[in-house]
A and B are shown apart, each in its own frame.
Chain A
Amino acid sequence: MLAETTELKVLSATGLRRVYGVKVAVDGISFEVGQNEIVGLLGPNGAGKTTTINMVLGVLEPSSGTIRIEGVDIAANRVRALERTNFAAVYAPLPGNLTVQQNLRVFGLLYGVKDLTERIEALLDQFDLNKLRHARCGVLSSGEQTRAGLAKAMLNHPRLLLLDEPTASLDPATARDIRAKIREFVARDKVGVLWTTHNMYEVTDVCDRVLFMSHGKILLEGNPRTLPGEHGKETLEELFITVAREPLTLELG
């Protein structure tokens, strides 16, 4: 029974803790992301969201705790775990000295994508990058770079997708299109997504569940559409501000 439950989880983090010297960046958090589920990881700057994502991506070792991607322990089998993962983040743009198409080809090889040429063509279409395929990523606008980064993130049909503020540089119309594409991708491929953003409208629009982090801990978890009401708040933004400024009132209340 337990095995069945584990199989449904794309990501399982247990007792995840990260300490830098005396500073506790992530304080023993546990959470899961299921198939076909978009989980919002919310919290003020410095709450530990990016540290958490870095640990899931295997570029930062947890001080303690375990991370399993589709049941594969990343500490024990990093390569196998990361084959089924991908990510896009504003702080990790694609190399600016390669064109969009070149970057997709290089990363396609890194992720061992089958039928790579067809996959690249499909993604260039999907993210409206056809006209930019021969443009170096360094000369793209921030919105175009975001789309190129998302195309790279989808290359290997990841089972787990980590998105760190994926629409931060996009205009509202493009951001809406991108959200729709990600939702479509999630529904079609039964992907699990861990999504960080400061845009509360976006959270309500796309996330099935949210985790509110503050000072390295998960303080709240629930449906973004009902969570504010459960804590006596009008909106998710109001709840966010309370978590950021007065987390103790929530913990106690």
Chain B
Amino acid sequence: MSERMYENIQENIRKNPGGRPEKNTGENRREGSDLLLAVRNLSVAFPGGKREATVVDTISFSLRTGEVLGIVGESGSGKSMTALALMGLLKKGAVRSADAILFDGKDLNRVSAEEYRDIRGRSMAMIFQEPMTSLNPVYTVGNQVEEMLKLHAHLSKEERKQKTIQAFEEAGIRDSAEVWGKYPHQLSGGQRQRVMIAMAMICEPKLLIADEPTTALDVTIQARILALIKKLNREHGTAVILISHDLGVIRNICDRTLVMYQGKIVERGSIEEIFSNPKENYTRTLLDAVPGIHKRDDAKAAGAYGTAAAEYRDILVSVRDLTVAYKGNKEGLFGRRRVTEAVSHIDFDIYKGEILGLVGESGCGKSTTAKAIAGLIDSYTGTITPDNRKPQMVFQDPYGSLNPCKTIGWILEEPLKMQGMKRAVDRVAKAKELLAEVGLPVEYAARYPRDLSGGQRQRVAIAAALITGPQLLILDEPVSALDVTVQAQILDLLQRIRRQHNLTYLFISHDMNVIYQICDRVCVMTQGTIVETAAPRELIANPKHEYTRQLLASVPE
């Protein structure tokens, strides 16, 4: 949208405050008429306090009716704040300022709280990342969706129920009448997100803001949810603002996209423009950082990063007929515990020096397998040899895997104490050596985990895992919680460390792209069994199992 256009809008506001903008003459007429949202110089700041910060810095953009606009950026780039600012749902202490936020003929700067509440829900709706916490756990989902109708429509109880069930059906929920009476915890993540979408769409809003709607979901479900959003967009003409850190998701369904960095829009344009010809450095970094099954540099992979899979012959760990069963809760006082097999009868070997990938959706048993190998689970059947393996693990959530009450130095020294390194001087020296190795300044030894960013914490976690010199490192979704640029750095670090220390990795991920980039061999897991094992290139070229094909088809390009 051109600068002149904005000036026109501003002119309109001056002439006609609060009302629908007057029609422009000439070439702007068509654009002006189907303009749904125009934001001019929007800023969100947290004034006062110790950390005064501007999280959204004078951004301007517009959206037409029926358009799908993507906003992409790293965490902390201000994309969620932009969405919340539009909805008028900012936290206390945050201050929104804008020259104008024109939505559907109204200037949101000037509407009363009452009017705003009516606009929310009726003409603007939002879905959030985490479908578990965005639904109230003590009400049935049917009741919650109906509430929207209670607030915004005048219908009888029966009509409301009918309409809710209809909305469920449209959101692709099977057995919608039955789901109506269920509680959020009885539904799967994908179903919950569909309920959220049904709730958002039930009043047929003009604008749907989706804030990372698929980040918490598995890749196959992600594809279905995105298809659903696109379908609703086409059928109802609902404009969509899709916020994501995942360029693949943005590319899949958006018409145009904004790239945000540190609260500013650094680049904007159509999907083709941004992806084929990015102008800004930052956009290029972002695009380069994305791992992809369509991108792996084979020369780099074979040369710098290691050797072909065939060269690994020595078996480091051998897993035979591994079954792990969890006991469920007792049904009633004297009822029997239901036993569920998280992993059932799997066999595989880990060869010395390789990176073995374990890919699958959440709940397929990959983390359980990892824990069994790490020795964190005792109650399994089958054999894992040798017994004296002492693998270390790096976990997904770097916030949880480092003790928040201890300094980085203490965290790194602790394993050495366990190993019996008596002299404190030696331990400190070793900790510093490891910090330097993972690319952190040695001063960080005195800091606490909360002072570090997610990527830095993951570096510390890697250092802590390495410090005792294990042969096998189990990486359980080590980069899933990280931004894409940081993710690339951590993957690089892992590759470098593996070469220097002759390590073997068991790399667990739900992200086929990451697996493809880093692994020598991949085991595909579903429902507690390994269905296919192959080199990544072979797997993609020639998937043998139905599930593998499904998984690959869901990967956004």
Q: Do the two chains belong together in a single complex? A: no
